[in-house]
Amino acid sequence: MASGSVDVTYRGIFQKILAGNIVKTLVKASRHSGKIGGTISRYSDSPERNGIPAKQFAVIAESQDELHVEMAKYEPDNIRLIAALDDTLAKGHESWAWYGIRPIHLGLREGGALLVVSEHERAKLLEFIPRLPFEWRLAILPGEKSFSGLWVYHDDGTEFRVLGAIARLIPEVVGLEELEKEVGKGPKAEQHLDWLRQGYREVQVGTVPAGVGAPNTYEPVKLPEWTEMAEAIIVPAAPRGGRQEAFKKFTTRSERPVIDFDVCTQCKQCFVECPDSVFELTPEGYYNPEYEACCGCGICAEVCPVDDCIVMVDELAFADNRDLYEEWKADRAAYRQFFQGLLERERVTARSSRRKVSA
């Protein structure tokens, strides 16, 4: 058996309980094979309430000294597996401290595994995940992103399916037998064990050769030494009628609003109700979202009085934050076809979700 760390990257407060349960169960299960462990949280400041990505780590070691060394680090560096509980995190994530958009697999060791809960194919995810200079593994656990960790925990099976997949991917750290012993203790043990074994069976894993994936443009931010820090921190206020341009929120969203400008009545409801002042008034009187500032909360779609005028669309349908209003102005017929395609895809996804719930 070996030691190592598991990084669970999750979508802010929406998945906080879910991530915490996963790392705690891994640590407790490791004790069944004579190991010891601990958990660490990162970026769990209040901004995670807005959906900002955050991390929790399970650190598993074979000795007390080894555990102390890893737990003393800001982040463990022996990462054998990273689990992304929201597949849109494959586009990269930004902590509350604005360290730059970090690749989802940053810190993964050579030969390690990235586990993503997703209904997308491997090729789709690799459009966004940057290439690495060494061979690694990409594993997909089929399923929708779960918000079961939002305030009140909803036991929908995601926690145990993820644990089963982890046992399949890094059995030398925590194996299925140890997890079965731990999961089998609870009042719903039979159901939880079924989900655990389902995740173990269903996870799909493949090797990603060195150099395969999206271009890696990440440049680590150089943090100041303690002697270089200013005596105080000043955050400039947003200008009247504007926003703080340094405060970008787009990595917080799993969906983005897309507008059918052909049916927009220019009623201003999206502009008035947006909590982040995302919408900008165009010369023609429409309100256009600035996607780098949009957190994807969906309030604009909720308050819009026109059916299918503002539609929330899976973030992985887009490669960038380009201005869709300019595309509409340039070719309205092409934009209409584009919008209708997005609308139909979201309806198909909704029908599929309802079938799963009813099943």
**104 by DSSP, 3-state: which?**
coil
Contacts of 73 (CB under 8 A, 6+ apart): none
pLDDT mean across residues, the chain: 88
pLDDT on residue 322: 94
Cα→Cα distances 256→90, 231, 268, 278, 321, Å: 15, 38, 18, 12, 10
- pTM here? 0.87
Q: Using alpha carbons, select from 81, 115, 105, 93 the residue that is nearest to residue 48.
A: 93
Mean local confidence (pLDDT), 300-327: 94
Q: What is the pLDDT of residues 6-34, one digit of tens each?
A: 999 998 888 889 999 999 999 999 999 99
Torsion of CA 126, 131, 135, 138, to 10 degrees: -20
User: Please, are residues 311 and 343 in contact by the beta-carbon 8 Å criterion?
Assistant: yes
Q: Using alpha carbons, select from 335, 239, 344, 343 the residue that is nearest to residue 288.
A: 335
- pLDDT tops 90 at residue 47: no
Domains of the chain: 4-208 (3.40.920.10), 250-358 (3.30.70.20)
- When pLDDT is cut at 50, 70 and 90, the band that residue 44 belongs to is very low
pLDDT on residue 356: 39
Q: What is the pLDDT of residues 57-106, one digit of tens each?
A: 999 999 999 898 888 887 888 899 999 999 999 999 876 555 678 899 99
- When pLDDT is cut at 50, 70 and 90, the band that residue 193 belongs to is very high
Strand partners, 38: 59
